Amino acid sequence: MANMARPPPTVNLESPQTWQLQEELSPPGFQLPKLSKYRGDSDPAEFIKNYALAIEASGGSMATMAKCFPLALDDVAQRWFWSLPPDSMST
């Protein structure tokens, strides 16, 4: 569902992430954990489980998991993410 409010000029309107998610602040003290990137050649459920655990253990929220998700992707998985419709991912 498209957002009715006007997005700030700092957001990427082509991103699958809603502009509200793009503008979400990370929890105080949160640092993105070092993880191997998902390339689309292994079990996605296993990757998501490990990704979620790592973000949570680092003090991240559900919004943090969603916002940082594209940073955990590489190759075909990154292309898949950017092929999703704009403004379609809120959490």
Q: What is the pTM of this model?
A: 0.80
Q: What is the pLDDT of residue 57?
A: 95
pLDDT band, very low/low/confident/very high, at 1 (cuts 50, 70, 90): very low
Residue 15: how many other CB atoms lie within 10 Å? 18
Q: What is the pLDDT of residue 90?
A: 86
What pLDDT, in 10s, does the model give residues 28-79? 999 999 989 999 999 999 999 999 999 999 999 999 999 999 999 999 999 9
Please report how many Cα atoms fall inside a 13 Å half-sphere around the Cα of residue 81, on the Cβ side.
19
pLDDT (mean) for 3-7: 64
Beta bridge partners of 73: 38
Tokens 């790592």 belong to residue:
54
Beta bridge partners of 38: 73
Nearest 5°: CA angle at 15, between 42 and 48?
A: 25
